[in-house]
Amino acid sequence: MNVYILTKFLLIITIIKLIKCELCELNNKQGYKIQFGKDKNETIHFILSLSNRQHNLNNWYAIGFGHSMMGGLDIIMIRILNGNVYVTDEFVNGYTSPTPDMKQDITLHKYDYIDGALVIRFSRPVRPADTMSNIPLRNCFKWNFVMNPGTIYDLRGSISKHPGRPFGTLGYCIMWRNYVGELQYTSNSSKSPSPQIEDTNNISSVEDIKHNNTPSTPEISRSSKQLKADTSKKLNQTDNSEKKPTKKKDLKEGDNLSETNTPSTINSDDLSNKTKLSKIPVPSSKMNPATNMFEMSNKSERKPPSLPPTDDIEYPRAASWVSGTVKDLLDDKIGKQVFMCFLFECLAEENLIFVDDIKRLKELKNKEERKSLMQELLDRCTTTINVSSKALQLIKKEINKDDPDVTCFDLADKEVSKLLENDQFPRFRRSSLYLEFLEKLLPKAYALKWSSSFEALLGNQVGRYYFRKFLQSIHAEENLRFWEAVVEFRSVKNKSVAMTNLGKNIQQQFLREGTHNEVFLPFGLRQTIEKKIQQKDVDITLFDEAIKHVEQVLKNDPYVRFLQSKEYLDLLEKLK
């Protein structure tokens, strides 16, 4: 009996030693699963599983890293392009006040289709800026920021896919586009600062392994140099892949996992339920319109729309767009043109064009013209436009009829319009393009008024932008960022679940002791807010006293110094 107990004890100890990090898993109803964990070498490993993926369906996905949207956000971008997968950084950190991030340290290890699911394995080193809220260190922390179809915040706390386009910021997502283009069309990608991603053909012939139905942990036991050497060696084996299939290698149950630096699932018995991996299809040399924009030689084909002249619009009209809805913006001819310029820079102009074309479709009288446009819209839904499978099925079911009903596009129209409203419109309001357009219209009298009214400064978007730049220069921007977060909190439906979750996010980012963006409040006030959030007694007044305190702090010193700053004086010189 004692020998049996001792044996069981030693077995448990052995299993614990084999596990290099704690593995966390997040799922959502749409078949989007992410497993992640940190190993002893300070590397975070990921397995992303996307169910019901078609081999030739091109799309964007994103994984949000960071304490919140307000500044600590870092995005890992995943591009599925003609059956190949590219994983990189987003070239920008933060959302409200984004900063360039030129460091590309994402490593793609392997990917394959398993029982209709695309499984992608990649890793990222822990960075000094990461915090306990960003990544799982000892236990499974819930990420403070995740992505949900058609929304900026996923207030339910689940991981979801990001619809359609990269969560980029203006020119930085163009850098990402160019970077991926270089990966695909340049034979020598080592000249550009890139993560350790194999060439397109190399990726197509990655090593296959036996796998259970649920994605297990990544096998990254070899160094990157050895991995590249193995991959190059496999190229010789796959030159005649059409004539002779590549022999698959299996993961032996006896492999010494302790020599790897990877997370491991505790349910190791399931490894015996091996599933053969299907070979990734080699992409066709003929590219469809959805991928042409990634070709370096075709970059000039996307002619940018021009910003409207400022002669026909005054500042109050343009400033009203920030407080209105996306419908109000699109009803304004000039506003719509500015919005289109923003969408172009974010590589998302096709969403607005899609919505406009559906309106045009419903106005067409000619049957053949309707069918032709409907087929074109369907083609876009399978390439550049991200709609749900339900919306796609409704369209496909109707479009083969002799006289298809145009209302089959209603659900797709609703989904894309929701994406414009909940994702791209809020980003437009924060964008530098919109701020620069407002600045051109700003009368000098408005800026002069800021010197006598702190409230006028905070209430003006251009003024707040320059005030934030000044606060960044003195490393004191957290108070203004907290103020802006509370303004957004107050715009959410009162006493809703969304308000409760957003209030909790703000409290964790700005009011939790020791956070990077900690805002200092009187102890009793901080405790009161925390207690209300714990009791879910959250309403629009939750941060009222905190905002009064923060406004007083900003007004006492930073505001006075800003009025004498180079930023403010230079702006006055520029304005008419």
pLDDT (tens digit, 9 = 90+) per residue, 510-561? 988 877 888 988 888 999 999 999 998 999 999 999 999 999 999 988 999 9
Contacts of 382 (CB under 8 A, 6+ apart): 57, 392
The DSSP result for 433-462, as a single string, is HHHHHHHHH--HHHHHHTTT-HHHHHH-HH
Tokens standing for residue 342: 């923003």
pLDDT at 569: 92
Residue pLDDT, tens place only, 450-486: 999 999 999 999 999 999 999 988 888 899 999 998 9
Q: Are 87 and 120 in contact (CB under 8 A)?
A: yes
* Cα 164 from Cα 57, distance rounded (Å): 12
pLDDT at 372: 92
Pair (390, 460) in one structural domain: no
pLDDT at 15: 47
Tokens standing for residue 411: 């659900």
Residue pLDDT, tens place only, 47-64: 888 776 665 666 666 666
Confirm whether 273 is domain-assigned: no
* Cα 538 from Cα 117, distance rounded (Å): 40
Q: Are 91 and 100 in contact (CB under 8 A)?
A: yes
CATH of the domain at 341: 1.10.167.10
Pair (114, 188) in one structural domain: yes
Confirm whether 551 is domain-assigned: yes
Strand (E) or helix (H) holding 84: strand 84-93
Q: Which pTM does this prediction carry?
A: 0.53
Query: Of the residues 384, 403, 432, which one is the last residue of a structural domain?
Result: 432
Pair (217, 130) in one structural domain: yes
Residue type, 355: V
Residues forming a β-bridge with 120: 48, 111
* Cα 466 from Cα 257, distance rounded (Å): 54
Confirm whether 378 is domain-assigned: yes
Pair (223, 328) in one structural domain: no
Query: Of the residues 373, 403, 432, which one is the last residue of a structural domain?
Result: 432
Residue 236's alpha-carbon distances to 183, 229, 230, 241, in angstroms, are: 20, 12, 11, 10
pLDDT at 523: 82
Pair (407, 520) in one structural domain: no
Q: Domain of residue 404: give its range.
A: 315-432
Pair (167, 34) in one structural domain: yes
Q: What's the number of CA atoms in the CB half-sphere (13 Å) around residue 362?
A: 10
Confirm whether 296 is domain-assigned: no
Rg (CA), the chain: 26
Pair (69, 201) in one structural domain: yes
Pair (503, 526) in one structural domain: yes
Pair (122, 212) in one structural domain: yes
Confirm whether 106 is domain-assigned: yes
pLDDT at 227: 36
Residue pLDDT, tens place only, 172-190: 334 444 444 444 443 333 3
Confirm whether 250 is domain-assigned: no
Confirm whether 477 is domain-assigned: yes
Pair (179, 61) in one structural domain: yes
pLDDT at 186: 39
Pair (471, 327) in one structural domain: no
Confirm whether 438 is domain-assigned: no
Query: Of the residues 432, 464, 498, which one is the last residue of a structural domain?
Result: 432
The DSSP result for 342-388, as a single string, is HHHHTT-HHHHHHHHHHHHHHH---HHHHHHHHHHHHHHHTTT----
Pair (457, 372) in one structural domain: no
| Domains identified in the chain, total number | 3
pLDDT per residue as tens, the chain (576 positions): 566 666 656 655 554 444 444 445 555 555 667 777 767 677 777 788 877 666 566 666 666 655 444 444 456 777 777 667 877 765 555 544 555 555 667 888 888 877 777 888 888 777 655 544 444 333 333 333 333 323 233 333 333 333 333 333 333 334 444 444 444 443 333 333 333 333 333 333 333 333 333 333 333 333 344 434 444 444 344 444 444 444 333 333 333 333 333 333 334 343 334 333 333 333 333 333 333 333 334 344 567 889 999 988 999 999 999 888 899 999 999 999 999 999 988 878 889 999 999 999 999 999 899 999 999 999 888 877 888 889 989 999 998 888 899 999 999 999 999 989 888 898 898 888 999 999 999 999 999 999 999 999 999 999 999 999 999 888 888 999 999 989 889 888 898 888 998 899 898 889 888 778 889 888 889 999 999 999 989 999 999 999 999 999 999 889 999 999 998 999 999 887
Burial class (CB in 10 A: 0-12, 13-18, 19+), 568: buried
* Cα 353 from Cα 339, distance rounded (Å): 12
